[in-house]
Every structure is written in structure tokens, then in C-alpha cells.
Amino acid sequence: MALTIAGSDSGGGAGIQADLKTFTALGVHGASAITCLTAQNPKRVLGIETVSPKMLRQQLEAIFEELNPRAAKTGMLFSAQNILIVANFFRNSQSAIRNPKLVVDPVLISTSGAKLLEKNALNIFCEKLLPLATLVTPNLFEAEILSGQKIFSLEEMSDAAKKIHSQFGCAVLVKGGHLKSKAQSPKSKVATDLFFDGKTELLLSAPFVKNIRTHGTGCVYSAAICAELAKGKNLIGAVQIGKKFVTRAISESYKIGNHFALRPDKI
């Protein structure tokens, strides 16, 4: 089974809701620990309310007491307190003995531009949580923050991934979906992500899906990787399946109101 530790998206396109849909589509039982409630839709975030540290801790304790996840992922943690609860739990409790694989999706900002991590929480996130991760999955903007450099090319993606790995010790998947717009390269027809684990560097490419603006792709991607790790896949294999899964979810998106929703389904 797999566990998601993330925020609830009232619009159903990202967060806990997207993660659990992905786990189900990939044949894995999903458990959840909710870090915060959001009032949001694909266009904007109206409000965020965190759960208490005590309640977050109790959710984790309840899950590991009986269910024993083989892999877990974090999404929106939002506050320094939430990050410390999760990091300390995985470092100090029985969960550390059971040693589930941990995928960290560093949710810093929403597609609509809303900040999803408190200002004072980034240092704690980097110092306490990232060293515990099996894999971190930043998009380009998040990779720039974590590596301290700008990214406008595949070469700079590679440099950033190596810097992040060197600093925090985890494998890195830099998602390059925004590279086309950042590099102002409209001729590019593929979305390329870059994986680096200290030994292997791997490029994962898929055709751009035109005329679709999606919400929740990072959640679905990291959840698919988490699900495959829970099923016993090695990290490279899980990342490759995750790429295929999210590409199909985007290509089969459907219209909800004035927006597109991903369709997480079996590969």
C-alpha cells in the first residue's frame, strides 16, 4: 500500500484527491494524512487552513500502527510545523524501522500562482525533510530554488539535479514541462524530464499535449512513482512508469466547466 501526506484540494484536481485516484488506477491501496484544507479551483486558491500538529501526527501513527505502507509521498505541507512533524516521524518512529520509500514533491507554488509553503518553512524543508527522501520531484521553478541557479536548458537541468543530489543526498527528478516557455523555444515538441541518482542520469521525454492547461500534474506524477515503489519496482523503473502514466493522464484530459481535468487511468 501507499501513503500520501498532502493537502486536500476542494476542486478535486490535485492534492490528496489526485493522489488517491492515481493509487487506485495503479492497483495500490491508498492511505492519506491530510496536512491542510484548501478552498481552491483550477483558477485560484481562496484559502488555506492547516490541521493541528497533533492531528497530523495522529494520522501518521494510526496509519503505521496497522497498515504499514511500503512507500509514501509528500505534497503540500505548507507550514514549518507540518514539515517537522513529518520529518521527525519518519526519522524517529517505527516507520523509520519499516523504512518506506519516500517521494517528496516540493509543492511551493500552485499553477495559479498561490504560495503553498510559508516563508519561514523552506529552510526547515531543506534541512529536515529532503535528506530523508528517496526521490525529490521539483518542477523547474522549484529546482531553481533548491539548487540556487537559473534553468533555461537541459544542461542547466542536469547541473541543478546534480547540485540538489550533492546537497541533500536524494535522487532527483527535475520536471522540464515549463522549459519550452522559459527558454522561449516554441519549436520544441517534447516535454523532457531529467532523473539523476548520483550514478545514472536519464532523460524522459514525451510529446507536448497541445491546447490543454492542466492542474495537478505534479501530484499525479509523484503519486504514480510512489505507487510503483509500493509495488516493489526499483526507482528508475518507477520513474519511467510515472512519466508514461502522467503523459497519458494529460492526453486523455476532459473538460470540467471551463477547465481541463486529468484522467488518471491504467496504463
What is the distance between the alpha carbons of residues 66 and 32, in angstroms, rounded to a whole number? Answer: 13
Domains, in order of start, for the chain: 2-261 (3.40.1190.20)
Whether 214 is a known active-site residue: answer: yes
CB of 174 closer than 8 Å to CB of 188: no
Residue 257: predicted pLDDT: 67
* Choice among 4, 219, 243, 247 that is catalytic: 219
Give φ, ψ of 260 to 5 degrees: -100, 140
Whether 247 is a known active-site residue: answer: no
Residue 184: predicted pLDDT: 46
Whether 216 is a known active-site residue: answer: yes
- Low-confidence residues of the chain: pLDDT under 50: 184
Whether 38 is a known active-site residue: answer: no
Specify the residue for cell string 486529468.
262
CB of 13 closer than 8 Å to CB of 42: yes
CB of 30 closer than 8 Å to CB of 23: yes
- Residue of 59, 62, 36, 61 whose CA lies nearest to 49: 36
Whether 232 is a known active-site residue: answer: no
* Choice among 21, 73, 101, 175 that is catalytic: 175
Residue 94: predicted pLDDT: 52
Backbone angle region of 40, left / alpha / beta, with phi > 0 → left and psi within -120 to 50 → alpha = beta
Whether 219 is a known active-site residue: answer: yes
